[in-house]
Chains A and B, each alone.
Chain A
């Protein structure tokens, strides 16, 4: 991802959004239906529930050079499957705290809760996260010393 881009070239951000089918995906849809202006950097992957989120999905995206990863699901206690997001928030929080130890900026990952009716909140979440990731610049990913661009790091 973005490896062929020259460092000086301004490029669009690649932000991966994992949205739960029942709340946040609906929330994003609501934002669209209401014609709220949103950043276009987000690529949405729909998951059945945030309980489906393997923290490795996020780790893999960031290792390979995604600029940011956003996970959004139903509010705690509102999960379509009752408890999926309660499992998820432990896993996601542990991952978020562990990323900086491995040299990956914790601000490149964000998880939050947006319900299907919260179109406005969705707009705000996406806008803020895009700005936050944009401020960090492109993610070089984990490149090899021998083949990669160490100077850029």
Chain B
């Protein structure tokens, strides 16, 4: 199934190429388990594209971050491959006028979920993966300590297990067949609800333990397609000076408050922050909680409607309940 989507993608990319300057997609990385973003600038390179459940990266960030191509008079469109979750980030960027819709050519791919590599070898056995074979709902992992069969649904990323929008919400061409959401909308916030059930002391202890591991490498921020301040990020500016370089817990909490609150009402739950965290801190839980609040309070879900305005960039004089 993935191969037919891939050949269709290549065909469509070839067809669309006269309109494009650049096509952003995925290619095989340093081994078969890893894919890496590819920036195609010539139609002869289109065959480098791949599509499989290892294509985890959200490419939308590259529309607003380095290495962005300079746009000018007469420049053609940027082609971009998106999964369901990535497409919401693209919509959010268009909503905030950070990219123009007519600048993009979007290749939408309905997605059955991407694999969390950390789940392929459970319990940190240290075994080296030799090869992985995928069937529709099974993953066969051959590693240095033997052969293992896993269910596809078990090795998905957390964000995929709670995916509500597997089909791209915006696209110029759609590749492959529509995929059903994995959960109902009322199940969306089960993970944050589990934390909400803890007592206040337990919640503080939970975040103290989790955030204590934070290295402040800022990978979560860098991978986030909607963290667009870049060099002006207040986590690093000297004026205003919000954070010091001390590695203590208050500074770590503060950094995650900055990251999460700057995404309040904007986060599209692509899960990149959590995927790239080298310390495996569930950082996107904080953003999910904020999304849950904005949904309850202001009935807004980020990255769905091109005309929508992120709720914290606007107000309504009528809302007296707040």
Contacts and interface: CB of A to CB of B under 8 A. Distances in A.
Nearest to B196: A101
A148 B290 contact: no
B249 A56 contact: no
B161 to A, nearest CB: 20
A141 interface: yes
Contacts of B208: 103, 142, 144-145
Interface string B229-259: 0000000000000100000111001100110
Contact of A102 (B248, B258, B286, B317): B286
A148 B205 CA distance: 12
Interface stretch (B50-58, B116-124, B172-180, B292-300): B292-300
Given A86-B315, A90-B311, A97-B293, A60 B205 contact: no
A63 B254 CA distance: 7
B250 to A, nearest CB: 5
A115 to B, nearest CB: 17
A76 interface: yes
A144 B293 contact: no
Given A77-B317, A94-B312, A144-B248, A103 B205 contact: yes
Contacts of B258: 56
A101 B315 contact: no
Interface string A31-73: 0000000000000000000000001100110011000000000
Interface in A62-101: 63-64, 76-77, 83, 86-87, 89-91, 93-95, 97-98, 100-101
A136 to B, nearest CB: 10
Contacts of A93: 297, 322
Interface string B296-316: 011000000000000110011
Contact of B315 (A56, A87, A141, A148): A87
A69 to B, nearest CB: 13
A90 B212 contact: no
B148 interface: no
Contact of A90 (B192, B200, B260, B298): B298
Interface residues of A, number: 34
B201 A76 contact: no
Which of B205, B253, B290 has the largest number of chain A CB atoms within 10 A? B253
B250 A90 contact: no
Interface string A110-153: 00000000000000000000000000000001111101101001
Interface in B168-215: 192, 195-196, 200-201, 203-209, 212
Given A142-B249, A148-B249, A86 B261 contact: no
Given A76-B317, A98-B289, A101-B203, A144 B249 contact: yes
B59 interface: no
A120 to B, nearest CB: 23
Nearest to A82: B317
Q: Which of B203, B212, B249, B298 has the most CB of A within 10 A?
A: B249
B220 interface: no
Interface string B75-90: 0000000000000000
Given A56-B242, A64-B250, A103 B206 contact: yes
Contacts of B242: 56, 60
B22 interface: no
